[in-house]
Amino acid sequence: MAWIGRILVILLVVLFAIPTLGIILFFVPVGLWISAIFAGVPVSLQSLVGMKLRKVRPHNIVEPLISATKAGLDLDINQMEAHYLAGGNVGRVVSAMISADKAAIDLTWQRSTAIDLAGRDVLQAVQTSVNPRVINTPRVSAVAKDGIQLIAVARVTIRANLDRLVGGAGEETILARVGEGTVSAIGSADAHKSVLENPDQISKRVLGGGLDAGTAFEILSIDIADVDVGRNIGAQLQIDQAEADKQIAQARAEQRRAMAVAQEQEMVARTQEMRARVVEAEAEVPRAMAEAFRAGHMGIMDYYRMRNVQADTSMRESLGNEPDAGTTPAT
């Protein structure tokens, strides 16, 4: 029976040891610690356990530290962990420092972490500083003094300036300034042919404007890749102006015609008014004659003489309105 008791004890020890070993392996990355020891990086188990408790992945700290040590860089594990807790990318910062050290670029830990926390890719910045990059501007449209539209595309060679990466403007500012300079250079040209013959005058004028001031890059060169001839904007503007003048003249003529029609209608209305007054006056004549008869101011012979005068006047008017004997009346 004694051997049965020993077996039960062994089983209990094993059942208790397996979970305990799992908990230890969870909090203590023994494999990573062994890798660091063989790489010559002095990392204690207490530091690894502390990282676990602070919710820091030890692989994100120890593996970049191993790479930095192999590259000959002396980094502090506490500073690396602090940068990780601040939201930085420790692996990218260490890779950037290794690349800068190989290229003989003075890049300290404080500057690289500041660049990384500023939201810029510090590794790409170091690579751009070592190997300048070429960016293409969008198609820029401008009009020369002779009214011809030119469409230009420029290639800008830039190199990262590590001293101005924190707080410096980005590539969008470079492209905007180059586009503005291109428009100014083409617009100041007397003729579009001069720009087509010497496109380098655009790049020289743009490059001399200090476009990289306040940016995180240094402009090495500006090359005009393509210049296309667009529309004749000057002629189109003249056509549009002529069309506008035509419409204005038509509007003024229509206004004058409307005013003439209104005046004609006003004269017709005045004529009708005068005719109404004449009819009203003629209607007063018999009344006045009757009043004259009653008052004794006019006799019957006076009335007949007036009628004879009226008849004579009517006959004269009819004779004056008759056509001449040698002419044919109009039908």
Tell me the HSE value of 47 on the side-chain side, using a 13 A CA sphere: 17
Instruction: Output the pLDDT for position 5.
Output: 62
Instruction: Output the pLDDT for position 1.
Output: 55
Distance of alpha carbon 156 from alpha carbon 138, whole angstroms: 11
Confidence band (pLDDT; 50, 70, 90) for 322?
Answer: low
Distance of alpha carbon 44 from alpha carbon 220, whole angstroms: 48
Instruction: Output the pLDDT for position 11.
Output: 66
**CB-based contacts of 173: which residues, under 8 Å, 6+ apart?**
214, 215
Look up residue 42 and give its DSSP letter: -
Give me the DSSP letters along 144-156.
Answer: -TTSEEEEEEEEE
Task: Give me 205's structure tokens.
Answer: 């004028």
Distance of alpha carbon 88 from alpha carbon 316, whole angstroms: 120
Indicate if the pLDDT at residue 287 is higher than 70. yes
Q: Mean pLDDT score of the chain, rounded to an integer?
A: 81
Indicate if the pLDDT at residue 23 is higher than 70. no
The domain locations on the chain are: 2-130, 133-231
Distance of alpha carbon 139 from alpha carbon 104, whole angstroms: 38
Over range 13-26, report the average pLDDT.
60
Distance of alpha carbon 120 from alpha carbon 164, whole angstroms: 12
Helices and strands (DSSP H and E) totals, the chain: 13, 4
Return the percentage of the chain with pLDDT > 70, whole number: 88
Phi, psi angle pair for 209, to nearest 5°: -90, 0
Instruction: Output the pLDDT for position 141.
Output: 86
Indicate if the pLDDT at residue 154 is higher than 80. yes
The CATH number of 133-231 is 3.30.479.30
Q: Write out pLDDT tens, residues 250-267.
A: 999 998 899 998 888 889
Over range 281-304, report the average pLDDT.
78
Phi, psi angle pair for 148, to nearest 5°: -90, 130
Confidence band (pLDDT; 50, 70, 90) for 324?
Answer: low
Query: Is pLDDT larger for residue 328 or for residue 85?
Result: 85
Distance of alpha carbon 131 from alpha carbon 33, whole angstroms: 37
Distance of CA 217 to the CA centre of its chain: 23
Return the percentage of the chain with pLDDT > 90, whole number: 2
Over range 140-159, report the average pLDDT.
86
Give me the DSSP letters along 256-289.
Answer: HHHHHHHHHHHHHHHHHHHHHHHHHHHHHHHHHH
Distance of alpha carbon 184 from alpha carbon 145, whole angstroms: 11
Residue 43, classed as helix, strand or coil, is coil
Own/partner pairs for 48-54, CB < 8 Å, 24+ apart? 51/81, 52/26, 52/27, 52/28, 53/27, 54/81, 54/85
Q: Where in the chain does DSSP place strands (E)?
A: 133-136, 140-143, 148-160, 217-232
Contact 170, 215 (CB under 8 A): yes
Indicate if the pLDDT at residue 238 is higher than 70. yes
Task: Give me 257's structure tokens.
Answer: 């015609």
Distance of alpha carbon 269 from alpha carbon 242, whole angstroms: 40
Which of the residue ranges 21-30, 77-86, 300-309 would you say has the lowest mean pLDDT?
21-30
Q: Where in 92-216 does DSSP place strands (E)?
A: 133-136, 140-143, 148-160
Contact 159, 123 (CB under 8 A): no
Instruction: Output the pLDDT for position 27.
Output: 56
Instruction: Output the pLDDT for position 331.
Output: 43
Contact 43, 65 (CB under 8 A): yes
Q: Write out pLDDT tens, residues 170-229.
A: 888 888 888 888 888 888 888 878 878 888 888 888 877 777 788 888 888 888 888 888
Torsion of CA 156, 160, 166, 168, to 10 degrees: -20
Instruction: Output the pLDDT for position 158.
Output: 87
